[in-house]
Amino acid sequence: MQKSVIYITRKIPRTLVEPYEDTYEFRMWDKADEPVPRDVLVTEAKNADGLLCLLSEKIDADFLDQVPNLKIVANMAVGFDNIDVNEAKKRGIVVTNTPDVLTETTADLTFALLMATARRITEASDYIKQDQWNHWSPFMLAGSDIHHKTIGIVGMGRIGEAVARRAKGFGMKVKYYNRSRKPNAEQELDATYLAFDELLETADFVVSLVPLTAESKQIFNKEAFEKMKRSAIFINASRGGVVDEAALIQALENKEITAAGLDVFEKEPISADHPLMKLENAVCLPHIGSASTATREDMISLCFKNIAAVLTGDEPLTPVN
């Protein structure tokens, strides 16, 4: 009996593939850190039954028209804005993502980004590397306190709640905005629901954890940054598309807000000459929210479980459509 073919768009450790090798034939892009070229992806996917891909792969109608055998697209991410889910559904192709397994790790990174930005950690490290530390003064590299401040979380999903738990450990007041209220979070985390504008006006830290949708696209725009306190710090660990980047750059340059910590950008990857990289009050990371070894292995494992379920006629564990 011929094995079903699974194509993986990045090189991953063989140990993660081995449990499934007796059942499936695996093909894999041979570079771990470079995206598979579009033409190679199409050629390989034409003969594949399952596809394990990353956010960098655009799975649109044109692509789906060329892959008649494909039964499942397993996206190694919580978000799936790289996939035209409706077009996949029309063709009977299942789309899955990887929620839950990366919640705590992404919350860790989000809070680390908040702390690094508030306390100017990267600036301070560069200060020594550039051999500038030849004196001490009372306000040298003085940053913002975190304890007992107000955090405003936009997008109170799993990761938002995990960030709120960390904030409570710092004695922070937790405010949130979400499409729907979360009574359990309000009770368990002593979180207060606010309208979006009110959250912007009152929070010391505005943290974006909202998924990218038509409604949330560039929700953080010029008007949003103008509503924030001048002392506010903006953190984005969701999707770059929820921010009007030009407006953010202007807000940072004009000191309309104090600082920003960013793990995601409008167009990724960004280069060293990106305007945000030239600002001392911006901490920029290369989209590493879930980047711990254990979590990335768990994400890949969940992708395989979803693929195996669909290819054997069972229901996937984490379907999007």
**DSSP-derived secondary structure letter, 148:** T
Helix, strand, coil % in the chain, rounded to nearest 5: 35, 15, 45
- Compute the average pLDDT of residues 269-285: 97
Intrachain domains 4-101+293-311 and 103-284 with the same fold: yes
**Where are the chain's structural domains?**
4-101+293-311, 103-284
**pLDDT band at 177, cuts 50/70/90?**
very high
Mean pLDDT for the stretch of residues 233-255 = 98
Report CA-CA distances (Å) from 292 to 15, 56, 108, 240, 262.
Answer: 17, 19, 10, 21, 18
Looking at residue 321, what is its pLDDT? Answer: 87
What is the structure's pLDDT at 13?
94
| b/e map 219-230, b = 16+ CB within 10 Å | bbeeebbebbbe
Residues annotated as catalytic (active site), given as ranges? 239, 268, 287
- Computed over every residue of the chain, the mean pLDDT equals 97
Q: How far apart are CA 238 and CA 287, in angstroms?
A: 9
Measured CA to CA, the distance from residue 4 to residue 118 in angstroms comes to 50
- Distance, in Å, from the CA atom of 306 to the CA atom of 72, rounded to the nearest integer, reads 8
- The partner residues of 26 in beta bridges, in order of sequence, read 6
Distances (CA, A) of 118 to 92, 111, 210: 47, 10, 21
Residue 105 has pLDDT above 80, yes or no: yes
Instruction: Inform me whether the pLDDT recorded for 43 exceeds 90.
Output: yes
| Average of per-residue pLDDT across 136-156 | 97
The CATH H-level (homologous superfamily) assignment of domain 4-101+293-311 is NAD(P)-binding Rossmann-like Domain (3.40.50.720)
Q: What is the pLDDT of residue 32?
A: 86
Identify the architecture of domain 103-284 in CATH.
3-Layer(aba) Sandwich (3.40)
Supply the pLDDT for residue 288. Answer: 97
* Alpha carbons 31 and 17: distance in angstroms, whole number: 16
Residue 229 has pLDDT above 80, yes or no: yes
Residue 33: predicted pLDDT: 85
Residue 157 has pLDDT above 90, yes or no: yes
